Amino acid sequence: MRTTEDLFQKCLHAYTITHAIEDGNVLRFHVDYFKPEASPDALHTNAEMKAEGRKPSSECLQDAIPDGLRRTASIPKKAVIEAILAKHDTSTAGRRFNAVLATASINDAVEYHAMFKTLQADRQAVDSDFKSLNVVCVFSPPAEGDPDVKQIQEDLPQEQADNEVDPEGKKSALKAILTDYNTRYGTNHRIGEFDLYYQDVQKRIKDQQWPNADYPPAQKIDITIVVDMLLTGFDSKYLNTLYVDKNLRHHGLIQAFSRTNRVLNGTKPYGNILDFRQQQDAVDAAIALFSGEKSGDQAREIWLVDKAPVVIQKLEAAVEKLHGFMKSQGLECTPSSVPNLKGDEARAAFINHFKEVQRLKTQLDQYTDLTPENASEIDKILPEENHRGFRGAYLETAQRLKAQQGKVDDRTGSGESLEQLDFEFVLFASTVIDYDYIMGLIAKFSAKSPGKSKMTREQLIGLIGSDAKFMNEREEITEYIGTLKAGEGLSESFIRDGYLRFKEKKSAAELANIARKHGLATGALQRFVDGILDRMIFDGEALSDLMAPLDLGWKARTQAELALMSDLYLLLTKRAAGREISGLRAYES
pLDDT of residue 487: 74
Give the global pTM: 0.79
Contacts 24+ apart (CB under 8 A), 18-26: 18/290, 18/291, 18/292, 18/294, 18/299, 18/302, 18/303, 19/292, 21/302, 21/303, 22/302, 24/263, 25/263, 26/258, 26/261, 26/262, 26/263
Reported as a single tens digit per residue, the pLDDT across 535-581 is 999 988 999 999 999 988 989 999 999 999 988 988 888 788 767 89
What would the mean pLDDT of 365-383 be, rounded to a whole number? Answer: 96
Q: Which of 291, 305, 301 is nearest to 15 (CA)?
A: 291
Residue 232, SS3 per DSSP: coil
Q: Which residues contact 45 (CB under 8 A, 6 or more apart)?
A: none
Q: Which of 108-112, 135-139, 215-219 has the lowest mean pLDDT?
A: 215-219
Asked if residue 37 has pLDDT above 70, the reply is no
Q: What are the C-alpha distances in Å from 342 to residues 124, 141, 349, 355, 557? A: 52, 67, 11, 19, 39
Asked if residue 420 has pLDDT above 80, the reply is no
Local confidence band at 436 (pLDDT 50, 70, 90 cut-offs) = confident
pLDDT of residue 13: 59
- b (16+ CB within 10 A) / e for 24-36: eebbbbbbbebeb
Q: Which of 196, 197, 152, 160 is nearest to 179 (CA)?
A: 197
The answer to whether residues 62 and 51 touch, using CB atoms and an 8 Å cutoff, is no
How confident is the prediction for the chain on average, in pLDDT? 86
What would the mean pLDDT of 400-404 be, rounded to a whole number? Answer: 80
The answer to whether residues 357 and 319 touch, using CB atoms and an 8 Å cutoff, is yes
Q: Which of 62, 65, 66 is nearest to 168 (CA)?
A: 66
Task: Tell which wins on pLDDT, 298 or 251.
Answer: 251
Asked if residue 133 has pLDDT above 70, the reply is yes
Reported as a single tens digit per residue, the pLDDT across 55-112 is 444 444 444 444 444 433 344 899 999 999 999 999 999 999 999 999 999 999 999 9
Task: Tell which wins on pLDDT, 434 or 498.
Answer: 498
pLDDT of residue 42: 42
Q: Which of 24-28, 174-178, 419-423 has the lowest mean pLDDT?
A: 419-423
| Architecture category of domain 72-225 in CATH | 3-Layer(aba) Sandwich (3.40)
The answer to whether residues 45 and 381 touch, using CB atoms and an 8 Å cutoff, is no
Percent of the chain scored above 70 by pLDDT? 87
Asked if residue 422 has pLDDT above 90, the reply is no
Q: Which of 48-52, 299-303, 521-525 has the lowest mean pLDDT?
A: 48-52
What would the mean pLDDT of 157-179 be, rounded to a whole number? Answer: 96
Domain segments of the chain: what residues?
72-225, 306-426, 429-490, 508-587
Local confidence band at 452 (pLDDT 50, 70, 90 cut-offs) = low
pLDDT of residue 486: 77
Asked if residue 206 has pLDDT above 90, the reply is yes
What would the mean pLDDT of 14-26 be, rounded to a whole number? Answer: 83
Helical pair 492-517 and 554-576, crossing angle rounded to 10 deg: 170
What would the mean pLDDT of 324-350 be, rounded to a whole number? Answer: 94
Asked if residue 6 has pLDDT above 60, the reply is yes
What is the helix, strand, coil percentage profile of the chain, to 5?
60, 5, 35
pLDDT of residue 147: 85
pLDDT of residue 36: 57
Asked if residue 439 has pLDDT above 60, the reply is yes
Local confidence band at 195 (pLDDT 50, 70, 90 cut-offs) = very high
Local confidence band at 434 (pLDDT 50, 70, 90 cut-offs) = confident
Q: Which of 243-247, 442-446, 508-512 has the lowest mean pLDDT?
A: 442-446
Please give the DSSP secondary-structure letter assigned to residue 289.
H
pLDDT of residue 45: 39
